[in-house]
Structure 1
């Protein structure tokens, strides 16, 4: 995920590529067996802030319902929830403290939804283009930051546990192609990057041994970026359970991009899922087709899930224009039918 406001939207739109830009040279064949369980889901981290500022949702019949109930009606079975270290009170670019995230996780569990906790290791957006440490960590040495990481993840996982939720997945970083907590944990400092990520991994497992620890990278169409990260991480003793990928491409490139996800995951013996998808809400037909194309390719190539990034959002809450809701009617657009096709 990207930066703030329009910057974030521009970063995401830059991830979407034309068919001619995808290069799959030298890749082997993807697995043919479908995953035993396929999770359809969504990142809904903006929901509490939208509700707090008066936003509500109608279902496709025009009846107001809880947003999680509406999403479940489309077959969604999982949610992703981001968390920031010391966030501001800004409704769009802040909130998502661990206490707020835990409260939303409780709500998701009560709705019967699997939970993915998404650490950003920052005070606001971190993404493929931005990996800033929390302000409180910014002047730390590697040794100090390592201690801070152990303490932070252990504490926050215990907050989730105290609230009675066991996450199915925990992402240790968000779109971390270039590493985390720059410059200390940059991919150009692979031993330090790996040490910080392994500290996070170990504390997740200390509290939730069964949770799948996910490494999340963006733009899987860029195969060299995938190999640069995983070569550095694995080569320095990185430990993880699963790969997660962001992709916002069109239907025409979905199969090739999913082939890249499968190829890099197979190379390291890891299962994988797509943890972010989105498309232009004003182009309902093409975004619905892209959603269907990614889901089809993932299921055919062993992917274990597909999560839409903030489908419930609508203006004027934010200028982000890749949700799946109609801002006039407050009803879901036909994009959401891509989950049931």
Structure 2
């Protein structure tokens, strides 16, 4: 059941890594004005973050399809038209089933399974040992006391190494997300948005190493709460004005019902203002309101398609209790069948 685990290459010296980044500068300049070929050629992406899948399997959880028959999770998702998965990775995670794991070796193993199932892969770097989100941006414990220059080197080394672990496992991510819901910055306080030059420096170290190892991979920055347009713009302005480069703007929105149109309008504004296509990399809604969640998902997909948005990912639809008390999944914990929420991906 376990895929081959990669140890990856030995970390290179600071001089070697930085020279490697400089050698790829021509490709980076080319990529700054256009999407990577893989992203450019893709049709509208329907996907899901399924990072809990291996730990759920390890504890005996499984998934039925809509007919009530036990089936491989990738097969079930593909039956709803999903073609991509998003997988997070943490630096030095704990062994907690729901809040740990997701080391690069574990993430690479799941990416291999996804790729073998015919799915495209989005890698989500949190740049922490556990959850980082709009309200929390903690650096990995091993980086917490580093100076900015030391942290910059740690970022170069970490992303270069982890991208090579993926490469060693023959995984080519279609997309890589540098940071998770980074409205307030990353690795705070060093990379706080209140210090935009350092924030941009850290993110560009990640960007450059992604492109160095996998030039065809599109790089996303990821912001939460597009209903708060100024929060997203504050980050993007600070990042762009300090030389930040990116291919796609990733956005989280769990808006429902009558709140969806205003969020879509802001997403369109973000796309037109910065000249980068948007992708909704997180969506979900109340487990106990599946038809509402279905209809809102359809509204997002229709709206995003209407102005050239690239895709929508459902966040951890496969998670169900008692593995997690997360209340916005799309699997019924009693029947182990997908709820009507996933029907939002069909016929749209």
Length-normalised TM-score, structure 1 = 0.89
State the match for 2:300 in structure 1: 294
Which of 126, 130, 135 lines up with 1:129 in the alignment? Answer: 135
> Runs in 1 of length 4+ with deviation above 3 angstroms?
none
Aligned-pair distance for 1:36? 6.4
Alignment-derived partner of residue 323 in structure 1: 329
Q: Could you tell me which residue of structure 1 aligns to residue 58 of structure 2?
A: 52
* Post-superposition offset of 1:231: 1.1
Q: Distance in 2 between matches of 1:227 and 1:312?
A: 32
Contact 1:259 1:301 in 2 (8 A): no
CA-CA distance at 1:251 after TM superposition: 2.4
Query: Residue 269 of structure 2 aligns with which residue?
Result: 263
Please say if 1:218 is aligned against 2:224.
yes
1:28 maps to what in 2? none
User: Which secondary structure does the structure 2 equivalent of 1:275 belong to?
Assistant: strand
- Tell me: higher relative CO, structure 1 or 2? Use CA pairs within 8 A at least 6 residues apart: 1
Taking the aligned partners of 1:294 and 1:269, their CA distance within structure 2 comes to 20
Corresponding residue SS for 2:85:
strand
The match for 1:154 is 160
Structure 1 residue 265, shift from structure 2 partner: 2.1
For residues 286 and 201 of structure 2, the distance between their equivalents in structure 1, rounded to whole angstroms, comes to 38
Q: Which residue of 1 aligns with 2:256?
A: 250
**1:79 aligns to what SS in structure 2?**
strand
1:310 equivalent to 2:316? Answer: yes
2:253, 2:325 → 1: CA distance?
A: 20
CA deviation after TM superposition for structure 1 residue 254, in Å: 1.5
Q: Which runs of 5+ in 1 are unaligned?
A: 1-34
Instruction: Select the residue among 274, 280, 283 that pairs with 1:274.
Output: 280
Tell me the distance in 2 between the aligned counterparts of 1:258 and 1:144: 40
Q: Secondary structure at the match of 1:128?
A: coil
Which region of structure 1 is more displaced relative to structure 2, 252-261 or 284-293?
252-261
SS at match of 1:42: strand
For normalisation by structure 2, the TM-score amounts to 0.87
2:206 matches 1:190: no
- Greater Cα offset, 305-314 or 262-271: 262-271
1:167 corresponds in structure 2 to 173
CA RMSD of aligned residues (A): 0.9
Matched, 1:77 2:92: no
Residues paired across the two proteins, number: 307
1:236-279 deviation line (CA, Å, top 9, x unaligned): 00011110000001121222212211211221110111000000
Separation in 2 of the partners of 1:169 and 1:266?
21
Pair 1:203-2:192 in alignment: no
CA displacement, residues 173-201 of structure 1 (integer Å, 9 cap, x when unaligned): 00000000000000000000000000000
**Which whole-Å CA distance do the structure 1 matches of 2:261 and 2:116 have between them?**
35
